[in-house]
Copies of this chain bind each other. A is one copy, B any other.
Amino acid sequence: MLFNIKFHEGEPIYIQVYKYIKDMIDNGMLPYLSKLPSTREMASIMNISRSTVMNVYEKLEEEGLVNTLKGKGTFVAKININNNKEWSINWKSKLNNYALEAEGMDIMKHEKLYKKGMISFKSIAPDEDYFPMEEVKRAFANLISLEGNRILNYGYAKGYKPLIDFLREYMSDKGVNLKNKDIIITNGFTEGFNIVLSSITKKGDNILCENPTHNTAIKIMKLHGLNLIGVPMNKDGMDINSLKNILKDNRAKIAYLIPSYHNPTGIVMSYKSREQVYNILKDYNVPIIEDGFNEELQHLGAHIAPMATIAGEENSVIYIGSFSKILFPGIRIGWICADSKLIEGMESVKRSENIHTSALDQGILYQYMISGEFSRYLKRVRNIYREKYDLARNLAEKYIPNEYIYGDGGLYIFIKLKGINSRKLLERCSKRAVIFTPGDIFYTDAGGEDTFRLAFSRTSLEDIETGIKIIGEEAKFK
């Protein structure tokens, strides 16, 4: 125990106390800046007189071991630590290829970032102004009153049971057949996709995907050492003939698809196309990772069946869901719905990577979901985003010289310019405080230099108008 001194005979008490404390400072038990008990407390702890303690503290101060600050107390002045700087490691040079590639593909470090006052068409995050905060507070209160302190202790790698059960029903409502399927909760889509690739792919595998596709997905696939085989898109999504031709010549381990509000094009694939793509991939035995991204933005009760639904009892689709582009991306909750045996393996991967996703966040999301408020929230934000979409689309058609504009609603449109390099356009626009995302980062090959994504989820109607007009003006000076 601390200050648990045993006195011996033949040496003054104050010397013994002095040596005892000095030892503690010297051997690091009392580190730099730690506070000693007050003289009164110390006297009581050691069962000695207060004046003895005062003598000791004075002596310690004289020797520079402690400092007494008026009204604040006595603090350790230094500890015997290494003040050399002989050992200097160049950590930058110690980073491995994985970390260097992650840095190299980190758009936060290489792309134009938003600065205050700018009109930004970059963010596809939901507008937090519409978050239902009162319901979140209620969800937290309900959770704590239901689960108490348990919710703050360790949970399960697969996730918080009530949330999993809720999501089973949620997936079932989408028409997904859950026989022999299971769900695991992840830290958002990003972790979900990483866990899937970590569990079933290996360096050098081929992976099919739309071209262009979600830039974060491209980064993750590349970080896993996969060969990306991009399939060109048309206005209804993946081009069926190109897909067939590519599959004739290439063996793909798996396919990654975003059928709804495809990022970056905003295309919602029709049911017919989904079915066609499913059947072609089935013919070639290429399982599907379906990014359920933003599916929720579709009109309530009228979404197009996800690939996971088309699969029926077949276990060929690994569906990754997330509400993050609609609701609360700050709490990082996503899920994977797939074959039970596969989920079992991924459960161990998840456990080894970070044990489990925050139980508190899962519980809050669950309580919020069962409150019934989500569908009201969706109705509200769909209308808001719809208005922004309509405006952005109409203005873009009118002001921006384009080959085509893609996007079936959602949070962004995708524009192919008429022979204009989008990075050069961005350069000019950013001088006028308008920014957007150049399309090349979404391409698996070197394409897309005349395209860009114009996202408006967090842009006001007024800024949408001003911004698009500016882009249009700058596009004329090509």
Contact = CB atoms under 8 A, between A and B. Distances in A.
Interface in A88-111: 88-92, 94-100, 102-103, 105-106, 108-109
Interface residues of A, number: 126
A315 interface: yes
Nearest to A253: B94
A28 to B, nearest CB: 3
Interface string A231-263: 000000000000000000000000000000000
A170 to B, nearest CB: 12
A449 interface: no
Nearest to A360: B331
A448 to B, nearest CB: 21
Given A83-B312, A302-B2, A332-B356, A341 B105 contact: no
Interface centre among A79, A103, A136 (most CB of B within 10 A): A103
B87 A316 contact: yes
A198 B28 contact: no
B175 A149 contact: no
A102 B157 CA distance: 13
Interface centre among A126, A219, A301, A311 (most CB of B within 10 A): A301
A173 B34 CA distance: 7
Interface in A333-348: 338-339, 341-342, 344-348
A168 to B, nearest CB: 14
Given A27-B272, A188-B354, A154 B330 contact: yes
A199 interface: yes
A355 B332 contact: yes
Contacts of A91: 200, 315, 338-339, 341-342, 345
Contacts of A125: 153-154
Identical copies of this chain, number? 2
B175 A330 contact: no
A351 interface: yes
Contact of A345 (B83, B99, B129, B202): B99
B96 A29 contact: no
Nearest to A98: B198
Contacts of A133: 144, 148-149
Contact of A34 (B83, B302, B328, B345): B302
A459 interface: no
Nearest to A287: B89
Given A96-B202, A199-B98, A174 B31 contact: yes
Interface in A319-373: 328-332, 338-339, 341-342, 344-349, 351-361, 364
A68 interface: no
Contacts of A301: 30, 34-35
B89 A339 contact: yes
Contacts of A24: 302
Contacts of A310: 28, 81-82
Contacts of A359: 330-331
B200 A99 contact: yes
A304 B81 CA distance: 12
A157 B98 contact: no
Contacts of A223: 352
A149 B174 contact: no
A271 interface: yes
A260 to B, nearest CB: 12
Contacts of A82: 278, 310-312, 314
A375 B217 CA distance: 43
Interface string A294-313: 00000101111100011111
20 contacts: A2-B302, A27-B272, A28-B274, A30-B302, A31-B174, A31-B304, A81-B175, A85-B314, A89-B339, A91-B338, A98-B198, A98-B349, A102-B348, A103-B344, A106-B347, A187-B354, A187-B358, A190-B352, A190-B355, A332-B354
Q: 7 closest Cβ contacts across the A-B interface? A: A28-B271, A91-B342, A330-B359, A28-B305, A99-B199, A191-B354, A187-B354
